[in-house]
Amino acid sequence: MGHDEDGSRREGPPWSRWTEGQAAGIGRTADTVVPKIEPPEPDPADGLHVWDTWLLRTRTGEVATVGDYRVLFSLTAPADLLPGTRHDVAEIRYFYSRDGREWTDGGPVFADALGQRQWAGSALVDDGDLYVYYTAAGEADAPELSYTQRPAVGHGGRFSASEDGLALESTWSHEVLFKPDGEHYETADQSEGMIYTFRDPWFFEDPETGRTCLLFEANTPVREDDRCDGDPARREFNGCVGLAVSPSGDPTEWELRPPILDAVCVNQELERPHVVHRDGRYYLFVSSHMHTFAPGLEGYDGLYGFVADSLDGEYRPLNGSGLVLANPATAPFQAYSWMAYPHREEILVVGFFNYFDFAGDSLDAISELSLPEQRRRFGGTLAPTVRLGIERDRTRILGTLAHWEVPTPAEPLPEPATRPPLDLDALADGDEPAGPQGYPFGGYAGRDTVEE
């Protein structure tokens, strides 16, 4: 049983919904628009395209350190590839750093992963044992590129730290975690939408219940006579955040549960779902695209968020509409695929530097550019880390750190400084150049605001 927007009880599935009325309020504000991004000099991953990225974490969700090193996992491809083809050959590599600013490429994680290539996931270290969750994309024995998606895990690896670096010692075993049931989660054969999703496994151990969980992106089946006022075009937009649990706590054994959130009639893709737990609340974050919103709704390539008092919900959209981070209107595709993690009183958000110096209405226009120009306009590295203030169901951007800057909670951040004047060109016509009513803008803090 859920609630209507006025708070009254309504009939429906026993999970939360991102409603059309809520999503209709999406608009850029001073508290949600990130600054325009320029390429880093130098690029720590020169020679590679780097995009979806996640931290190695402990079972309880803290940023893990191995020896003195923190570890990032990223989807990567050779930088000489056309950026639009990188997903066809994606492999997970790891990067390690002592200070969270200078990073070393440790190389590919797997030599024998399932599928034809790997898409996004998460990574857990538990008593030294590594569990690298990923999306096994395609069938290894298919004669051509295929697009099946299976949440999977590789386990059996361990890191070995020394003064010379962080070595990966591995005899990996790989397993598919579960398959869509056709009831709560669409199968590929059931899908009628523009994009089918069953991917992005993300490990989470609930600190309040001790329950071992895995979130993932999926689509939920919608009956022909149900939802969206019977409009078949809108009904195709049926993204959801799925849930699996491990009753034994074993990171390799999972049972499907109903979704915790759906976006039926609103959005087709709720990518890379993950949760930050703080102050007794559960902050659920997803990334989504401008083009995956249903007809009649306008959204952005952005980070969207929801808050609830338990992992199962009921979730309320942050800032009223769900929008947490948006690119400026003058660079609407400059960053994407964000990962949020707690840092003392703030939340830090790591994303990747996507297409910059491009203000088109759709990424489809990228293919109309010359091949050298397509490569020039693709960042293919990590974006500046965003500092996010959060209070109950409101968020605001406090500032940014550098590209590839990933502090641990033990490392202090600079005090917020005076926020620079708002660039009104960053807001689209009709968007509101102010923060949510009654919520302060806060400071604007970057590494250049303090002496090192």
Q: Which domains does the chain have, with CATH numbers?
A: 17-449 (2.115.10.20)
Instruction: Name the residue among 130, 216, 129, 221 with its Cα closest to residue 177.
Output: 216
In this structure, how many other beta carbons lie within 10 angstroms of the beta carbon of residue 281? 15
Strand partners, 341: 348
- β-pairing, 149-162 vs 165-176, is antiparallel
Rg (CA), the chain: 21
| DSSP single-letter state for residue 63 | B
Instruction: Name the residue among 185, 188, 107 with its Cα closest to residue 149.
Output: 188
Active-site positions read 52, 271
Contact 5, 21 (CB under 8 A): yes
Q: Which pLDDT value is given to residue 13? A: 61
Contact 217, 242 (CB under 8 A): yes
Q: pLDDT tens-digit profile of 291-321? A: 999 999 999 999 999 999 999 999 999 999 9
Q: How far apart are CA 63 and CA 341, in angstroms?
A: 8
In this structure, how many other beta carbons lie within 10 angstroms of the beta carbon of residue 240? 30
Q: How far apart are the first and last CA of the chain?
A: 53
Quick one: tokens of 76? 């990567």
Q: pLDDT tens-digit profile of 112-147? A: 999 999 999 999 999 999 999 999 999 999 999 999
Contact 186, 219 (CB under 8 A): yes
Q: How far apart are CA 136 and CA 355, in angstroms?
A: 26
Q: Which pLDDT value is given to residue 194? A: 83
Quick one: tokens of 289? 């695209």
Three-state secondary structure of 409-429: CCCCCCCCECCCCCCHHHCCC
- The predicted model scores a pTM of 0.92
**3-class DSSP state of 10:** strand
Q: What is the mean pLDDT of each run of 10 residues along the chain (452 residues)?
A: 38 81 97 96 94 97 96 98 97 98 97 97 97 97 94 97 95 97 95 91 97 98 81 92 98 98 97 97 98 96 98 97 97 98 97 95 93 96 97 96 95 72 61 39 40 32
Q: How far apart are CA 406 and CA 22, in angstroms?
A: 32
Q: Which amino acid is at 194?
A: M
Q: How far apart are CA 302 and CA 293, in angstroms?
A: 12
Longest dimension (CA), the chain: 63
Quick one: tokens of 427? 């807001």
Q: How far apart are CA 301 and CA 292, in angstroms?
A: 9
For 127-238, where are the E strands, in sequence order? 129-137, 149-162, 165-176, 199-205, 212-219
Rounded to whole angstroms, what are the CA distances from 292 to 72, 153, 230, 314, 362?
28, 28, 19, 24, 11
